[in-house]
Structure 1
Amino acid sequence: MASTLMLLLQLLLVSLVSASHFFGGTTTYTYKGRNPDGSFNVEIRDRDTYDGCYYSLYWYCSSGYCGYTSTSQRGTLDSSTSAPLYNRQWCETETVTTRVVQSNRPFEMRAASCCWIPTRTSYWGHYWYLNTLVDLGERSDTGKPNRAPEVAILPFLRVPENCPRTYKLMSFDPDGDKVRCRYGNPGSAECYGCTQHSGFHLHQDSCTLHYQYTNADPLVNSFELVVEDFPQGHISLRYSDGSQSSRSPLSAPTTTTTARTTTPWWWTTGRPLQATSPPLSKLPLQFSFLVDPPAPSCQEGLYLPQFVHPTPAHGQRIHAEVNKEVEIRIKAQASYAAIQDIIMSGPMNMTKHRTTHNEFVLRWTPFSSDLGNYFPVCFAVESATGSAVTSFPGNTHSHNHGTPTSQSGVYQSEMRCVILKVGTEEIKTNVICTESEMRVEVEKSSLRGLREDHLRLSEPSNTLCSLERYSNSTHIIGVIPLNACGTQIEEDEEHLIFKNEITTVDDSGALITRKHNLEVEFYCQYPKKGNVSLGFTAHRTMVEVFDKGFGTFTYQFEFYPDNQFRSIIDPSSYPLEYDVGQKIYMEIDASSIVNDTEMFVESCRASPYDNPNSQPTYSIIEDGCPVDPTVMIHETDNKRQFRFCIEAFKFIGLHDQVYISCSVMMCEAGNPNSRCSQGCINSNNHHHSHRRKRDSAIQTAAHFVSQGPLRLKRSADISMSAGNNLNLNLNLVFIAGCLLAAVAMICGVLLYRAKMSKVKYQRLASSEN
């Protein structure tokens, strides 16, 4: 009997622990207008986190008339396997529900169940309560229903025990009300444990949580907070049944003369304001907080990730437009730990990606029903050392920079939160993607007085990149090759992304601008899986360039079968195939109607992509100097020709294709002050000589020409074994992305950013010299 009772007790304990799965949750609401029958629509957004993605809350009406549910949608926001030891995973979901209520009078919704994950106050997990007060009364100061604060937080926060940190909780109020964050009150169904944890201090009036110090523990602290909003002045609320109620601002607390012998470290932040009337709304804000073992250093950027450009600042407001994708770019660094992942909490359908440039990108497209609403997004980056490092896309090393460490752990950056404000379309555009180019169309009527001749692409030096080439009376039109006009290439886990932008300049001859009021950024993304696009990889034709003082001239980049340079390789035979170590003969030729000119090749680089801005690249020539040991320059009597050869190689990784891109320029022949006359120079001197002010037309700007692709013959690939003696350039250790797909292109997207009174330096385009 005793053994049976013990077994039953063990089964009961296991059952209790398995039921402990709640990490926390938040709720907010938005008024969504009236129906023809006079009823009111209110949208309620619940974000809840469990140890799996299959749980959901059950809300019931606890006070007032809560109406009925007309629509409901649920989706996963984010998940992670970097969680407390007992299960190592969490998943946050959001449920968006539209309720129809007959009156705009206040009502309360409540959810309750068991249990929190094991916490420091209850290993078996304690019950949880979530309570939401909704008040749609018409405000006397705005004439509209009250709008609740936009609250958000990461569901799982962590910090090393020896690293004090401040967390600014997201509590943005669209009406400009005063927002207060406080601990829930015991016995009021706002919380169950209502614990005020040692080592933490919550500054209520600024919604700031300070962590000072407490001992590490594998069990989390469960925070059960309440967010309230109060008007800045005395107002009244009117209801559809003719009744009214008043609301007052928070007031300063009554002072006391009680002596204090010891002043806590947080006392300088001020005592909390006091409420003299009920809040306008009341929202739950509950989350889990883990205190980890001490870190070797608390300095950000060593073990703890440090945010760097282009990460937005905390509280930054980001403009979003209906049916247009908005993106948030985030980057962090840690010298002695590997950047592991990003965790985020944002609106439903927001996606996260990691690029080959080691940036994280959050993307989201608002719907028409989101117009006028605000959406908070919170994020943090996690790094790892030692055995905590796990496999993830792009993680190939730990960035220890020669500093060994036996420390093993996961470290979280500060938490940052931004606000997305959804507005109407300001610049009317359309983007079309094809196999080899992007076409962007901008309605002139939406430019609001901006001069058409002050708009340009990122790099308009090629005449193909002129916006005047295709534009008409109603639209600014740009047709941009995927490998020209300053198009940037980016890669994430699934796509190749080609980006460019239309910007404003002060005038056609400007070097800088202080009126950078417009950025229309657009891109086309293509799936990696699929066949190679012949439209993109085919032989490049000549490049035509216009430069003041030199007129119109062309560059031609071709490959030859041997060192006689008599006839070019047939363009229809591209992509060209070579054996590893086989010599590749190339010639760049310039033609111009201006006499006494010469050409200079400043640099040549190899890349897996047909884009001079792509990464990675391998230098062949730099500052006019050969840097690859196999480079041979072939003399020619024509000063507008450059002939050279190298030994064939491949990029180590997924690709055997190579493109060659060169930076070239034209100069006044024989002028000793031109870059062409200087030839191969030291890079330190190059900065001073090449970037001088061009008072006279002695040389053009640099232009990019490229050709390819080149590929290794399959026989050469197969013959490579542990015992072969082929001369591979093993310093070409790069990871290449996958091939561009010819079909099933996913989308062309436009991102709009308005920039007022922001200095941005612009590179001088060759057509503006």
Structure 2
Amino acid sequence: MLDRYKLGVLLQWLIVFLLSPACEASSLGLTVHVVPLDDDGGKTVRAHFSVITPSPCPDLAAVCAAGEDCQAHRTSLPFSYTQPSPAWCVRQWQKTVPSNYKGVFSLGLHSAFYVAINADPKIRANNGKLNRPPFVALPPPLRASVNCPVDFHVSTKDLDGDKVQCRFARADKGECRDCFPHSFLELDEESCTLTFTGNAAPGQYFIYLMAEDLIPSPPSRQILNNPPLSSVPVHLSLTVEESASSCSSRPLPLDGTPERDSVQFILPFQEAKFNAYYNAVQESVVEIAVVGPPDLYRVGFASVGPLAKMTMAWIRSENNLTQILPVCFVANTKSFQSELRCLWLYQREMRTLPAGTELRCNQTEMSLVLPVTSLVDVDLTKLQLNSPTCPVTYNNTHLTAHIPLGGCGTKAVHAGSELVYTNTLKTVHQTMISRRPSLILPLACRIPGAQVEGPYYLLDMPTERETFGEVRVWLEFHLPGQGPLSRFTSTPRFRSNFSPQARARRDAALNNNTQTGSQLKEMVKQLDLYVMSNCSVSRAEMIVTECMESETEDFTGSEPILEKGCMMSNSTLEIITEKSTSKIFRLNINTMKVSGTKMYVECKLNLCIATRPSDKCPDLCGNTSRSSVLVDSVFTSTYSIRSGPVSLMMEDFMNRNESISPTPSNNVTDAPPSNVTSPTEPTSLKPATPKPGSPKPPTFPGSTPPSSQIPNMTPTNATSTGNTTTSQAPEAAASWITGVILMSISIFLQMNLLQ
């Protein structure tokens, strides 16, 4: 009886334990960037949390209690993605905690996470300052396939120049709860590289690491007792999936994608902008997943056949974020993930300028007066603005410059709700290496958000409809030599010569003969598939990425006609026409795998405009290894169109007027049907800068706007191509325009501290 009672109590305890908040959710990813506070000698730290949680995204209301030194980062540009399933999102906040901290924090009602920070204050002997713990970049959730080994590099940086290494967290040290190393994971502690051996069953696994900084030592001399200066937690997740094909089918980054662990230095109000390009041969990229600082813009995502691209940008406004900020990204297909890449944004520290420095802003220009005495050993003859054509004058006492808001390389960016005009006065050396001091002087005129409100500052991105017109796409089927483009199909010229053109023309001529009674009882031998659009933009081109046929309406069993824009067999040939916004494919029914008397066809396509008149949109079957084929093109969203039943009996086909869908159907609606693919993000266009009161400039697709103007881009049901408009500051008193200047004087060789 007693044993039964004990067993009942034990079962109740286990149920309570398993349903407790600490066990309800595991972190899909977590990092903490720790910044010691000088006010109390490092006894407390500012902890910057980044956490990946399953969707739906939990609320941040619970992370900051009343009276705490805490800030939740709520952004209009959330990081939210779909792969791996279930969907996931990123939550970020910062909070002051003890330097030696262990605790559980909650997100929403069903997510609780345990963290352990060991950052006890230590004064560095080399500079007498508090030691700064290492920074670890948070990657998107990791993915791998069964029996496919892969390495995952965890990107780290240390502002003190210390050596950073990683190890598995230990429960006996209070660093994690219920954590243990997985047998299929190996960790190179020196390089912080995880290796998945491939020997794991499909499922989701959680990884708990600690990143530590150690005093570096020369290779020739090893320090025997070199304990870590601090330890910070790193949580990762790995989703192992069934392998759909070979292990070499991962998306590959193309030229122009930031290199792993690269660094971009950013001045105040400067924009850091970079692109990611991928080539995915096996499967198309469904998303480029990114984890980065709050208000990191991600725009212009396009996935066309094997190619994919996206633009990312971050503008440095006034913030209390960490000095270095990681951005990690991967390309996800349905079954695969590209290699992980992370770059770091380094916010340069600025020095305060001496008394007598003055920057004035008015309606048309900013004027700078700078005491020469503050520029010790700086070569004044080497100073210039963003544009070298604008003069910088100086005498024995002062340097002066008059900088128009609409010239001299002045740029307009949006920092939060403010409109900021920026320029930079800097030293330009003739050689890459110089031991003379360099001047970097950011200049900014800020227009408050209250003044920005109004028609002149409305950022209006033209929709896909405005760029490509009211696009409609549809399918038609015709016998060779018939249909609206019969002049091209009666004596066809083929783009791909899977069969001799002479025989193809002879076959086409036979099909053009008047059908006899006996022939009407036969199967159709050849059929022309018309992929049509009504787009009338002169430089627009159609790219058909995929077509498949099936004998059943639900496409449970299907055969490819085209994949990645390439014809899959000699049963299909493309007929060359003069109509760039439509395509015709000659289907040889005799050699296709069609056993019944009818079939259904589904195609996916994009419309494209090359941004330069001398260029063409990408040939998906040609050389797709260059990133420029996507950079120099503007795309619509991907349209998916499906035919009704296509009779393959000659008599039935003739009775139906040889066409299944003669009337164009509009697939771009406010509520698109299920056969229209999800829209991608808008493609960027170059902004015009009209004067106040001037008419809105015409839209021209093809160039790139400052990503600072991206927040107001609104995707439509199809991929929107966009244009931003800004203007000069309206006529107003200079009192509400604030001048901001900061300075950095340093030796050039010191600029590479994080390289």
- Identify the structure with bigger relative contact order (alpha carbons < 8 Å, sequence gap 6+): 2
Would you tell me which structure has more strand in proportion to its own residues?
A: 1
- The TM-score, its normalising length taken from structure 2, stands at 0.48
TM (normalized to structure 1)? 0.47
